[in-house]
């Protein structure tokens, strides 16, 4: 569990108060301390927010674990917007790097799914009740 220890060490080294970090993350003071004890998890966006605020890389915050390993094993899952993924990330499928043409084909397939969702009156994510416990 490198993240909780790194978080505590970096916070102390930068003379940052736990209360300031809990406010930044929008969580209670007690919840924040449970993060430092490794009892709670964060969203990936919250980890990025912490790294920017503390002026360290996500890698420094997470330790030797790669960001991907940590996020897969420890982060709460949050909805992922495919368009953002297609624009800002290199993607692979079965070890082959996808090019822009491949990404355009994925967009076409997603558009078909989107149109079907609209026709079936499926609720938008923003309309769903969001989980409010255990950030």
- Going residue by residue through the chain (135 aa), what tens digit of pLDDT does each one get? 588 888 999 999 999 999 999 999 988 989 999 989 988 888 878 888 898 899 988 878 877 655 555 555 555 555 667 777 777 778 888 878 889 899 899 989 988 988 898 899 887 765 444 433 343
Domain boundaries, the chain: 2-74, 82-127
Alpha-helical regions (H) of the chain: 2-13, 18-25, 29-36, 44-54, 58-62, 67-74, 82-88, 100-119
Contact 90, 97 (CB under 8 A): yes
Give the global pTM. Answer: 0.49
CATH superfamily of 2-74: lambda repressor-like DNA-binding domains (1.10.260.40)
């Amino acid at each position: 569990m490198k993240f909780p220890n790194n978080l505590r060490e970096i916070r102390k080294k930068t003379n940052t108060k736990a209360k300031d970090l809990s406010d930044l993350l929008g969580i209670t003071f007690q919840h924040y301390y449970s993060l430092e004890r490794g009892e709670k998890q964060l969203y990936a966006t919250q980890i990025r927010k912490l790294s920017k605020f503390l002026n360290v890389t996500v890698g420094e915050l997470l330790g030797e674990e790669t960001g991907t390993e940590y996020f897969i094993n420890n982060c709460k899952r949050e909805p992922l917007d495919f368009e953002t993924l297609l624009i800002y990330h290199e993607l692979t499928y079965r070890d082959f790097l996808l090019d822009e043409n491949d990404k355009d084909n994925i967009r076409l397939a997603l558009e078909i799914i989107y149109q079907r969702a609209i026709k079936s009156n499926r609720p938008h994510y923003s309309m769903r009740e969001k989980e409010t416990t255990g950030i």
